[in-house]
Amino acid sequence: MSSLSAPRVTRVVFLVVGIVAALLAVAPLWWILVSSLRPSAEIFSTMAPLSWRTFVPTSVDFGNYAHILSSPTVRAIVNSIVVTAITVVVGLVVNSMAAFALAALNVRGRQVIFAVVVLSFMIPFDAVAIPLSTLTRQAGLANSFVALVLPGLGNGLAIFLLRQFFLGIPSELVEAARLDGARTWTIYWQVYLPMSGGALTGAGLILFIFQWQAYIWPLLVVSDPSKDMGAVALGRLFGQYGVDWGVVFAAAVLLTIVPVLIILGFQRFLVNSVSQGAIKG
């Protein structure tokens, strides 16, 4: 985009719009962080007459975090981490297998099958979550980790992204491997996957965000508090009468910090894998 086209006054207006939008987007998140470092009573007393103290902590108190470590909420956050980690690992294998078949195996009707798979996954999961929860309970899988993981595994967008990447891998490479007598599985596991770090990271992030954000599904299939996921546990905590607000905000911060760190961390990995791929290629 050319900056020449916008006169100076317009650019000042742009800057102001950008800053205001950025502040509006960040303020609530900043406020949770500040509130999580305050004693509960202070959270509300600093909100009523608006002042600089609303957004700036006068003292830092980690009491809420100490509190949360001895509450059942910490269990829910650990559950979220476990369920999401399993989802990402298993989901990457499943989706990359499908993407490999749809990109590298020459079979008649491949395009049609690809279209059917991607279109079917476009049925939004939340829309069928309620009937599926009934079926899950009938199958005796309520309150199971299997039930929690299952909807997050298959992902049309992840398949699409990985297939796009796999299509770019030169077919000569596959031929060479085949002439060496490699089986299809070996080509997938030892040729395609090692070359696809960046695409796998992208697909992994998609799976991660879906599962970490999941709310309606864990709400429906889990009734045993020890199996609760973090997001649902936080929702329940908020709805309780006489809730400890400090703990609510500390839990909210923990549930937000995990995705922030992972997204930031994997962005670096993303850059690394791309540059490594460039050297090898």
Partner 1 sequence: MAARPSTAEPARDTSVSAGDQVILRADRSHRLARRRRAGGWWTFAAFLAPSLVLLAVTRIVPLISSVAWSLDSRGGGFGAYREVLSSSAFQGSLRTTLLFNLVLNPVQIALSLVLALVLAQQIPAAGVWRAAVLAPIAAPQVVSVIVWGVWLRPSGGLINSFLAVFGLAPQPFLTSPYQAIWCLGLIASWIGVGYWMVFLIAGIREVPDELLEAAALDGASWLRQQISIVVPLIRRQLAFVLVADTVANFLLFVPVQVLTQGGPAQSTNLVMYEIYRQAYVFADQTTAAVETVILLVIMTAIVGLQFWLLQGRRE
How crowded is residue 75: how many other Cβ atoms within 10 Å of its Cβ?
15
**Amino acid symbol at 105:** L
Q: Is 19 in the site for partner 1 (CB under 8 A)?
A: yes
Q: Is 190 in the site for partner 1 (CB under 8 A)?
A: no
| Closest by CA position to 55, among listed 38, 73, 80 | 38
Q: Is 202 in the site for partner 1 (CB under 8 A)?
A: yes
240 within 8 A of 13, measured Cβ to Cβ: no
**Amino acid symbol at 75:** R
Contact region for partner 1 (CB under 8 A) — 64-72, 81-89, 120-128, 189-197?
A: 120-128
Q: Can you tell me which of 195, 203, 221, 250 binds partner 1, judged by CB under 8 A?
A: 203
Contact region for partner 1 (CB under 8 A) — 56-64, 70-78, 81-89, 205-213?
A: 205-213
Cα distance between residue 273 and residue 194, in whole Å = 10
- Give the list of residues 6+ apart from residue 138 with CB closer than 8 angstroms, or none: none
Shortest distance, CB of residue 61 to partner 1, whole angstroms? 19
| Residue at token pair 């470590």 | 69
Per-residue x/- mask for partner 1, residues 41 to 80, rule CB under 8 A? ---x--xxxx---x--------------------------
Q: Can you tell me which of 115, 135, 265, 276 binds partner 1, judged by CB under 8 A?
A: 135
Contact region for partner 1 (CB under 8 A) — 59-67, 71-79, 81-89, 100-108?
A: 100-108
Shortest distance, CB of residue 45 to partner 1, whole angstroms? 9
87 within 8 A of 217, measured Cβ to Cβ: no
Q: Is 22 in the site for partner 1 (CB under 8 A)?
A: yes
Contact region for partner 1 (CB under 8 A) — 56-64, 71-79, 176-184, 189-197?
A: 176-184
Q: Is 198 in the site for partner 1 (CB under 8 A)?
A: yes
Q: Can you tell me which of 232, 246, 247, 250 binds partner 1, judged by CB under 8 A?
A: 232
Shortest distance, CB of residue 32 to partner 1, whole angstroms? 6
Q: Can you tell me which of 79, 84, 151, 247 binds partner 1, judged by CB under 8 A?
A: 151
Cα distance between residue 221 and residue 130, in whole Å = 9
Q: Can you tell me which of 42, 210, 246, 247 binds partner 1, judged by CB under 8 A?
A: 210
Size of the site for partner 1 (CB under 8 A): 113
Q: Can you tell me which of 89, 130, 146, 186 binds partner 1, judged by CB under 8 A?
A: 130
Cα distance between residue 214 and residue 200, in whole Å = 21
Q: Is 231 in the site for partner 1 (CB under 8 A)?
A: yes
| Closest by CA position to 79, among listed 201, 255, 246, 263 | 255
Q: Which of residues 245-274 bind partner 1 (CB under 8 A)?
A: 248, 252, 255-256, 259-260, 263, 270
State both tokens at 275.
Answer: 């540059």
Cα distance between residue 71 and residue 233, in whole Å = 11
| Closest by CA position to 234, among listed 145, 224, 244 | 244
| Residue at token pair 């997204």 | 263
Cα distance between residue 267 and residue 57, in whole Å = 31
